[in-house]
Amino acid sequence: MTALSDQLALPCGQVLPNRLMKAALSEGLGTAAGAPDERLERLYSRWGTGGFGLVVTGNVMVDPDHLGEPGNVVIADERHLDDLSRWARTAKDGGARLWMQINHPGRQANPLATRSQPVAPSAIGLGLPGIPAPRALTDAEIVDIVGRFATTARIAERAGFDGVQIHGAHGYLVSQFLSPSANQRDDRWGGDPDRRARFVLEVVRAIRAEVSPSFAVAIKLNSADFQRGGFTEDESRAVVRRLAAERLDLIEISGGSYESPAMMGRPVARSASTVAREAYFLEYAQSVRAAAGSVPLAVTGGFRSRVAMVDAVESGECDVVGLGRPSAVAPGAAGDILHRRTERLHSPSVSLGLPARVSTLPNVKSLEGALDLQWHTDQLHRIGAGADPDPERTPWLTAAAMLKHHGVDAFRSRRGSTAPKDPTLRKFEVERAVGRYLANPAVRALSRLGIRTSFATELETTGRKSGLARTVPVSVAFDDTGAWVISQHGTRSGWAANIGAEPKVRVRQGNRWRTGIAELRPADDVVARARSFAPNPVLAGLTAATFRALQSTPVSVRITFTD
C-alpha cells in the first residue's frame, strides 16, 4: 500500500522523495526586468525546506510581450541565467525537486502588464470587464510560440531546475487551443479535437527535443472548462491519452478558468462524496487513470486533512497530492502532514462575510474571488520580505488595500519598487479612476435628476461573452446622421472591445435612445476630433487638453444611426 512518505519514480528517472507537491502559485515577485531576486529566494527557501517532495514554481512567461500578471518572471533568453541559478539552488537546498511552470497567457494577458494586443487561437474575447479583445495568431506566430516554450525549458535546465510543467489549464493559451469555445480555427491548429490538440503536443515534443532525457516534462491540464461550449471531460480524457504517449513525467489535474474558476472551488456543484473527500477533481482523476497509462497523476485543489490525502494516494486514484493555498499560510505544510504535527491544514475561506442577498451578486462574487487570490498573494509577499505569513489577517485589510489602489495601483507591477512607471499605463489607471469615482457617478446622478446633456451621456454595448447590455457614461459629439465617441485607450476600454465583437449599439441623445452601428476609426485625427467635442468653441482647447491628459492609445469611434 502506497504511503504519503513513499518515494515516486518518474519515467525520466527522477525520484520524488515523497508524494506531496507544492503546487504552482503565481507570486508576482519578479523584478522590473522579469528576473527573480532575493524575494523569490527567501520564499522558495521556506518551501524547499518545508517537506515537499516536489516544488513547482508559479507562472514563468515564455514571451516578454505577453504577461499574465504584473511581476511575472520571464525567460526568453539567457540574460538572467545567474539569477535563475541562485533561485534554483536556494529552493533545492532542502532536498525537494524543483520544477518551473512555464506559460503563455494568450487572451488572458493582463492589460496593464502587457503592452501588446493579446493574442489567441481565434479573435474571441474573454467575458471579463476591461480585458481587450485578442487578435488571432498566424501560423508562423504559433510555431514561434512553440519554440519559445522549448527555449524556456532549455534555459531552466541549464539554470539547475529539475523539470518544467507546461501550464495547460485555467484558460491560458494552451487551454485556449484545446477549447472549442476559444479555438474556432479551421486550419491545422483547430477545427476538430485532434487539430485543437496539435498545439500542446507540438509544445511537448519541442521541449523534449531541447532537454536531456533525465529532465522532467509535465503538464497541468483542465479536466473541463466548466463553461457552455468549452473543453469537456471526454475531450480531456482523449488529450490525456495522446499526451501519455509523449514521454510525460506527471499530469496534474485541475479545471476551470478565470471566467469560471473551478480551481478555487467556486462555482462547481460537487457530489457529497467529493465534498467528504475534499479534492475538487479526484473523481475525474479516477476516470482518467486508464487513459494516462503509466504516467503518474497529481491532483490539486481542496485537500486539507491528512486523512483525505492518505486515502487519495493509498486508493491509487492519484500518485501525488498538490497543495496550493495552504502552502501560502504554512510553508512547511508537507512536513507538518508527513510528521503528523497536524492532522489538518489551515487555509481560511477568504470572504467579507456580506449578507447572502449581496454576496450572490455576480460583481460581488468576482470581487471576493479576486480578494481570495490577493489575500494569499499578500502572504507570499510577506514571506518574500523575510516575515512570517499571517493566517489571521482579516480580509478587510486586503479589501481596504485593494479599494485604496483600485484603478490606480491595483495592477501596478510588483517587480520592483524603483521600476519606472509606463506613462501610458499610468494614464489608463488615472482615467479609469476619474471615470469610476468622479465622472461616471456624476453623469448617473444628473440623469436620475432628469438633467440631460449631449456632451456627457450614456452608451450601451453588448458584453462580448455575457451577451448582456453594458451601459457606460461617455462624451459624445452628435451630428445629423450619427455621433462621434473617443475611446481614450483603444480596445483597452471594455466598451470598445465590446464593439469589436458586436457593433450594434444604443446611445442616449437627450431623452431619446438612438440605435446605430459603431465602427473604430483608427485613421481619424483624434486631436482634432477631441476639439470638436467642446460645447462652446472657446472651450475647444481645454476639451482637447483634457482628453490628451487622460488618453493613452486613443481611437475615434463613429456611430451611424440606423433608427
Please report, rounded to a whole number, the percentage of residues in the chain having pLDDT higher than 90.
Answer: 52
Mean pLDDT calculated for residue range 285-289: 86
Please provide the size of the chain in residues.
563
Question: What is the pLDDT of the chain when averaged over all its residues?
Answer: 82
CA–CA distance, 393 with 412 (Å, rounded to integer): 22
Residue 361: the pLDDT is 63
| Helical spans, DSSP H, in 279-344 | 282-292, 306-314, 325-329, 333-338
Dihedral sign of CA atoms 443, 448, 454, 460 in order: positive
Strands (E), 107-197: 119-120, 135-136, 163-168
Give dist(CA 252, CA 2) in Å, integer. Answer: 19
Q: How many CB atoms lie within 10 A of CB 32?
A: 14
Query: What element of type H or E holds 150?
Result: helix 139-159
Assess whether pLDDT exceeds 70 at residue 373.
yes
Q: Do residues 81 and 159 lie in contact, with contact meaning Cβ atoms separated by under 8 Å?
A: yes
In tens, the pLDDT along 115-134 reads 789 999 999 988 766 678 89
Are residues 145 and 198 in contact, defined by beta-carbon separation less than 8 angstroms? no
Helices (H) and strands (E) in the chain, counts: 20, 20
pLDDT tens-digit map of 502-530: 899 999 888 789 999 999 888 888 777 77
Contact 484, 477 (CB under 8 A): yes
Cβ(250)–Cβ(218) below 8 Å:
yes
Residue 379: pLDDT above 70? yes
Please identify which residue in the block is written with the cell numbers 487519495.
312
Phi, then psi, of 251 in degrees rounded to 5: -115, 120
In this prediction, residue 477 has a pLDDT band, given cuts at 50, 70 and 90, of confident
pLDDT band at 403 (very low <50, low <70, confident <90, very high): low
Q: What is the pLDDT of residue 314?
A: 94
Q: CA-CA distance, 343 to 336, in Å (whole number)?
A: 8
Question: Which of 124-128, 233-237, 445-449 has the highest mean predicted lDDT (pLDDT)?
Answer: 233-237
- Residue 302's closest CA among 269, 259, 338, 347? 347
Confidence class of residue 100 from pLDDT cuts 50, 70 and 90? Answer: very high
- Give yes or no for residue 265 having a pLDDT over 60: no
Residues in contact with 12: Cβ distance below 8 Å, sequence separation at least 6, in sequence order: 163, 213, 214, 215, 216, 217, 247, 249
Least confidently predicted of 207-216, 333-342, 464-473, 477-486: 464-473
Q: Which of 87, 6, 79, 85 is nearest to 40 (CA)?
A: 87
**Rg for the chain, CA atoms, rounded:** 25
CA angle 68, 70, 76 (to 5 degrees): 65
Alpha-carbon distance 18 to 279, whole Å? 19
Q: And the C-alpha cell for 242? A: 495522446
Q: Which three three-digit cell numbers place residue 302? A: 481542496
Q: 433 pLDDT band (50/70/90 cuts)?
A: low
Distance CA 534, CA 543 (A): 6
Between strands 555-561 and 512-521, the pairing is antiparallel
How far apart, in whole angstroms, are the C-alpha atoms of residue 295 and residue 486? 54
Cell numbers for 485? 465617441
CA–CA gap between residue 464 and residue 67 (Å, rounded): 22
Among 168, 166, 197, 167, smallest CA distance to 180 is for 197
Whether omega for the bond prior to residue 17 falls within 30 degrees of 0, making it cis, is no
Q: Report how far residue 8's alpha carbon sits from residue 197's, in angstroms, rounded to the nearest whole number.
A: 28
φ, ψ for residue 120 (rounded to 5)?
Answer: -160, 170
- Between CA 483 and CA 476 the distance in angstroms is 6
Q: What is the mean pLDDT of residues 284-289?
A: 85
Cα dihedral sign, 146-149-155-158: negative
More confident residue, 364 or 538: 364
Identify whether the C-beta of residue 120 lies closer than 8 Å to the C-beta of residue 69.
Answer: no
